[in-house]
Amino acid sequence: MLLHVIARGRIGRGPEADLVARYARRIVWPLKLTELPDEGGRVPPRDPNGVTVTLDERGEQLTSVELARRLEKWRDGGKRECRFLLGAADGHDEAERNSADLLLAFGRATWPHLLARAMLMEQLFRATSILANHPYHREG
């Protein structure tokens, strides 16, 4: 299953970009990164056999294992693509939230969108590592 991260805002150069690149290199599943301008630009069309996860502070707070199990369920259910939508500084509009298969939150705090992108990439690496029984993730 393709993991497709669609993010508003250009990450440019800096520590956040380095973190995104570091985790992107470590993810062994097919991965695509799409950057859109803060406003405008077209979100790539959704694969009819795909799912959309929208990052939103009002979303579900899943553990890393729970996220891994969702990805596993979608992958094993034949989904071809899992899209992750990250908004710009002002987040998503109501239509984007309503069209998501899952609203996902990294806690109740508001995170800068560049940090949220790095956090998402780490969680995708962690989730795929959990599913591969890689020792990166430790249950405490």
- Binding residues for S-adenosyl-L-methionine, as ranges, are 55, 87
Q: Which residue ranges are tagged as binding site?
A: 55, 87
6 neighbors 34 (Cβ within 8 angstroms): yes
DSSP state of 32: E
Q: Who's near 98: CB < 8 A, 6+ residues apart?
A: none
DSSP string, 100-119: -SEEE-SSSS---HHHHHHH
Q: Reduced to 3 states, what is the DSSP secondary structure of residue 29?
A: coil
| Alpha carbon of residue 98 to chain centroid | 17
| Alpha carbon of residue 39 to chain centroid | 19
